[in-house]
Structure 1
Amino acid sequence: MSSDTPLQLLGGLSATEFLRDIWQQRPLLIRGAFPDFECPLDPDELAGLACEDGVEARLVEEHGEDGPWQVRHGPFDEAVFGELPERDWTLLVQAVDHYVPEVAELLEAFTFLPRWRLDDIMISYAPPGGSVGPHMDQYDVFLLQGMGRRRWQLGGKVADEAPIIPGIDLRILERFEVTPGDDWVLEPGDMLYLPPGWAHHGVSQSDDCLTLSVGFRAPSADEAITSFADYLGEQLPASLRYADAGMAPPDDPSELDDAAVARMRRLILETLDDPARLAQWFGRAMTQPKYVDQLVPREQPTAPAELVAELQAGGELVRCRGSRFAWRALDGERATLFADGDGVTCALPLARALASDAALDAEALALPGAAELLAALLDAGSLSWADE
């Protein structure tokens, strides 16, 4: 589909129009974004997932036994859910797309955005009155109503330093005023897009209210600078140091003068301003898996010849649900394939094929270097056999 083709998902806007006029600028309510939507899992299945080891889950009670806005972290015992009140609580489960293939399939609707920007699909369940309080998030999110009805109220864009309620394990805003007109009840299939920093408050209006949150991540400046500096530190030679050849004798040997500061500044800026190294770091940073323990390396290395035989016999390799892939062209023939925080140089067509959603079967072997790279990704845990 062309980027200029109107999408029902975006309320009739084309992808180009949405990215130009809405994305990271203002909210957008989309009625019937997913017509006749059927939620890919039910509340009992979500609760069951929250009881499993390794799954990130939270239980938020507005009126908990230990005080207001009590937060408990999973995994939970099934008995917990039978002890909860009839209203005013919320269960949140992160990265449901990593565990439920039918949830992961929803991501196909969001291919108008870079795949490496995706964080995960969180799903929340709430009985009547369930909420996590008025708050803001520092990421883009599409809030898709999956089951029941939820009322969303918006309070406009708020400053990073907006006061929050102290002493609780949630970043609930102390003050929240609803913007006139930004007050809606969403039905199944309706969706609300929110850019970063927009205050919002969602409250369940009915039994069995499920909301799917498709979130997109962006590293903060402090995270990016720290991570890039660490990456550079591993790449730079020890001989690259502060130097002051040709300097004038100091008026005072104890003074840290402007010339010395300028030399240090020049060293740092020239070291940082390296587009090739920045791209290599960025690809690795944006493909870091959300949960590293989801990648299980193989105990025994895979021989490329064995992998070839398996593929030719009808086997198929799939990307592990927690894995992230991206690619960047180096020239007309070569590219860096980024996979789960690592990067490897390979043929450009191979990088594009591995980073796409296309099936990895015997046809992939026609690409130069495929057998060796597929074996390495299989051993790293980024790929697995479809029948495993």
Structure 2
Amino acid sequence: MKKITPPLPLLGGISAEQFLNEYWHKKPLLIRQAIPDFKPLLSKDELFALSGRDDVESRLISFFNKHWEMKNGPQQHLPVKQKQDWTLLVQGVNLHDDAANALLRQFRFIPDSRLDDLMISYAEDGGGVGPHFDSYDVFLLQAHGQRKWRIGAQKDLTLVEGMPLKILSKFKAEQEFILEPGDMLYLPPKYAHDGVAVGECMTYSIGFRAPSYQELGESFLHFMSESIDLPGRYADPELKPSTKPAEISNEMVDDISAEIAKIRFTDDDILIFLGEHLTEPKPNVFFSGPEKPLAPKRFHQAAIKNGLKLSNKSQMLYKGKHVFINGESFAVNREDKISLNKLANERRLDGADLAAVSADVLEAFCLWYEDGWLEIC
């Protein structure tokens, strides 16, 4: 019998199955008080401080004199309070704040391979990023103040030329909502929307990964370049005198085409590529191990006593015998697979779990701890 998950308050009292069947990739969903009495997880000053760090991705978007401008971080100077119509976007807040990470993980009814990050948008009255669309699904959770959203399922996605942002030139709103703290709006990919701050406000965006096939194809070819094995070198012992020296011969094209056609890839190649690609940290993600790491023996004792948890920055996935973490992959035996899969799914292991893992996995855990991938609870 197929297991049906219970209704989720986060989704307005419907189950994850119902949401995926009726709304995911299909139509918007407005959820009043998805998180009742929600309070911002970071203050305005804490968010501004994050935007000034070089290991945090941020953008400052302003609209002055009918002209859009965008400045990538680190943000050293934010607009003076007298100016309005500006928005600060801070990506990946879940990587740097435990409460933000816990909020993001509430959306794990969508697989980790698709879940991306939590972005915080701060705006003064009238601030926004203009009418636009995203190429991925997004949940927009109001955290502080109010934001007016206008949305529409338009087919014309023509953009304004010469702008640093993807602003829709012919935006037509079909619905309009004002979101209060705790309210949330889900939008499927390419659904046009325009959000404008009503007074000072903060909005949390839970976004999802939707890599283009072009991106995946290019990355896969690069991945496979390390495993291609085509021995030998081009030769033409039956070469005939040429009357057209600048022309590439059919013989050369055929010979090299036949050699390149020998390149083969398997489902396992694609799986390993995908696992490593999806867990590869973004360029601005840096891991920091403990200042004074415990020696291996002390680490094992502390881990079994207190348990371990993945760093907020760590991404861990698995499939079959393969386990992937932060862009690396390895095959595991059936016994270790149980504990490693649990670590990936629950993002932590308690002492009883650790007592059952092999010496090789404990050694790997110690290295991950030293690199900042794992933390002692």
TM-score by length of structure 1 reads 0.83
RMSD: 3.0
SS at match of 1:176: coil
Residues 104-161 of structure 1: CA deviation (Å, up to 9, x unaligned): 11123212110221111000011111110011111111000111111111131546xx
1:356 aligns with 2:345: yes
- Is the 2:310–2:347 Cα contact (8 Å) retained in structure 1? no
Which residue of the partner structure matches residue 183 of structure 2? 190
> What SS does structure 2 have at the residue aligned with 1:356?
helix
Question: So what's the TM-score if we normalise by structure 2?
Answer: 0.85
Shift in CA distance, 217/261, structure 1 to aligned 2, threshold 3 Å = same
Change (3 A) 1:35 1:356: same
Partner of 1:245: none
CA distance in 1, matches of 2:294, 2:323: 20
Kindly indicate whether the alpha-carbon contact (under 8 Å) linking 1:30 and 1:192 is maintained by their aligned counterparts in 2: yes
- What does residue range 1-388 of structure 1 map to in structure 2 within 5 Å? 3-63=4-64, 68-77=67-76, 80-81=78-79, 83-158=80-155, 162-179=157-174, 182-205=175-198, 207-239=199-231, 254-255=249-250, 267=262, 271-272=264-265, 274-291=266-283, 293-296=285-288, 304-312=296-304, 314-329=305-320, 335-346=321-332, 347-363=336-352, 364-368=354-358, 369-386=360-377
Change in CA separation of 1:358 and 1:215 when aligned onto 2, cut-off 3 Å: closer
- Cα distance, 1:44–1:262 mapped onto 2, change above 3 Å: same
Instruction: Report what 1:332 is aligned to.
Output: none
Choose 276-285 or 349-358, whichever is displaced more: 349-358
Question: Are the counterparts in 2 of residues 50 and 93 from structure 1 also a CA contact under 8 Å?
Answer: yes
* Letter aligned with residue 338 of structure 2: P
Q: What runs of 5+ residues in structure 1 fail to find an aligned partner?
A: 243-252, 330-334
Question: Any unmatched runs of 5+ in structure 2?
Answer: 235-247
Identify if the C-alpha distance between structure 1 residues 157 and 276 changes in structure 2 by more than 3 Å, giving closer, same or farther: farther
Secondary structure of the residue aligned to 1:148 is strand
Kindly provide the CA deviation profile for residues 81-118 of structure 1, in whole angstroms up to 9, marking residues without a partner as x: 4x243421111111111112111111232121102211
Aligned to 2:113, the other structure's residue is in SS state helix
Paired AA for residue 164 in structure 1: L
| Residue of structure 2 equivalent to 1:250 | none
Deviation at 1:358, TM superposition (A): 4.7
CA gap 1:127/1:380 in 2 versus in 1, 3 angstroms: same
- Distance in 1 (CA, whole Å) between partners of 2:144 and 2:69 is 25
SS in structure 1 at match of 2:348: coil
SS in structure 2 at match of 1:104: helix
Aligned in 2, Cα 1:151/1:350: closer, same or farther, shift over 3 Å? same
**1:240–1:29: structure 2 CA closer, same or farther, 3 Å change rule?**
farther
Shift in alpha-carbon separation, 1:327–1:304, aligned structure 2, 3 A: farther
- List per-residue Cα deviations over 1:152-206 (Å, max 9, x = no partner): 11131546xx332233321111221112xx211111111111111111110111x
- Deviation, 1:241, is 10
CA distance in 1, matches of 2:232, 2:125: 62
- Corresponding residue pairs, total: 359
The answer to whether the 8 A contact 1:302-1:376 is kept is no
Deviates more, 1:2-11 or 1:214-223: 2-11
Inter-partner Cα distance in structure 1 for 2:331 and 2:276? 13
- Report percent identity of matched pairs: 36
